Amino acid sequence: MEKKNISLIGVPMDLGQMRRGVDMGPSAIRYAGVVERLELLGHKVDDLGDIRIDQAERVHTADTNLRNLEAVVKGSTELANKVKSVKDKGDFPLILGGDHSIAIGSLAGISQQYENLGVIWYDAHGDLNTGDTSPSGNIHGMPLAVSLGIGHPDLVNILDYTPKVNPENIVIIGARSLDEGERELIKQRGIRVYTMHEIDRMGMTRVMEEAVDYLKGKTDGVHLSLDLDGLDPTDAPGVGTPVIGGISYRESHLAMEMLAESDILTSAEFVEVNPILDEKNKTATVAVALMGSLFGEKLL
């Protein structure tokens, strides 16, 4: 793998959902040795520290059921501008969460740099809800819909443009918990989804080969958004919304290794590490190990 200049951005966001602790995710990932691991692989790592997230009182905004809307918009906008500045200087943004609502800001800052950005959404969930379809009002279940231009105007129009990504340029991998509104949206927009059924039946090798081939010919950049709850809770217990029957640790390493070999990624984020729910920082350690494979680490 060609050595990269990686800019590390922490986003201690916990306002997109209701369980405390995920704001400590970036610190846990750093403690697990992400900088040292990537530098050992020969990459240059510039840790830009954490985006400031206002820890506002957790409330519904008056005209919407979305929790903490104003604070999430503010944090997302700050992240979008930070990511944009990283892309402007030609570095690879590696973003550490924080709950998955941070992808709203990540994609807003990244997508401006590309004509046809692709997205690999590695997650147990589709994150395709809106205020109308969400059973909870938690924004961490909405970032992919927002990035498609569907949702509250304040979220959709961050950095004053929409959409950030087109449905035909999205691949969801590992889905096993989808709300009814999400299933309908997937069918309406023709979004490519590999559920756990496909992974079990086809194997991760074929899934990743198809995903890479699907995106490679029609995109000029690809963003990986990896939610640790995409993995089975036995391998990644420190997440806010675990779903049993997920992708294994070894399958996830294979997926990252194949993405490294494909050399299609231009940015990445790892989200939903919650140390309070974890076992001896196991989930952050798994995240760092997967980053190692993603950035070219091999046994031999």
Q: Which two tokens stand for residue 179?
A: 């709300």
Is 46 in the active site? no
In sequence order, the 6+-apart residues with CB closer than 8 A to the CB of 202 are 194
Instruction: Please confirm, yes or no, whether 253 is among the known catalytic residues.
Output: no
State the catalytic residue, choosing from 91, 99, 100, 154: 100
Instruction: Give ∠ CA 260-112-140 in degrees, rounded to 5.
Output: 75
Q: Which of 91, 229, 251, 297 is catalytic?
A: 229
Q: Is 235 a catalytic residue?
A: no
Among candidate residues 14, 91, 99, 123, the one labeled active-site is 123
279 counts as catalytic: no
Q: Cis (ω within 30 of 0) for the bond into 143?
A: no
**What are the structure tokens assigned to 147, written together?**
């990035």
Catalytic residue status for 227: yes
> Which DSSP string do the residues of 161-187 spell out, in sequence order?
---SS-GGGEEEEEE-B--HHHHHHHH
Selecting among 154, 251, 272, 278, the annotated active-site residue is 272
List 50, 91, 99, 127, catalytic entry: 127
In sequence order, the β-bridge partners of residue 270 are 96, 226
Per annotation, catalytic residue among 227, 232, 257, 297: 227
205-238 as b/e: b if 16+ CB within 10 A: eebbeebbebbeeebebbbbbbbbbbbbbebbbb
Across-strand partners of 175? Answer: 195
In the block, residue with structure tokens 């004053």? 160
154 has catalytic annotation: no
| Residue 266, φ and ψ in degrees, nearest 5 | -120, -5
Distance CA 133, CA 151 (A): 10
Query: Which of 43, 99, 125, 257 does the annotation list as catalytic?
Result: 125
- C-alpha distances in Å from residue 135, one per residue of 66, 67, 226: 10, 12, 23
- Tell me the CB-side half-sphere exposure of residue 248, using CA atoms within 13 A: 7
Encoded tokens for 86 = 């990283």
Among this protein's residues, is 91 annotated catalytic?
no
- Please give the Cα distance from 179 to 237 (Å, whole number): 22
272 is catalytic: yes
Catalytic option among 43, 140, 152, 253: 140
Question: Which residue numbers are catalytic?
Answer: 100, 123, 125, 127, 140, 227, 229, 272
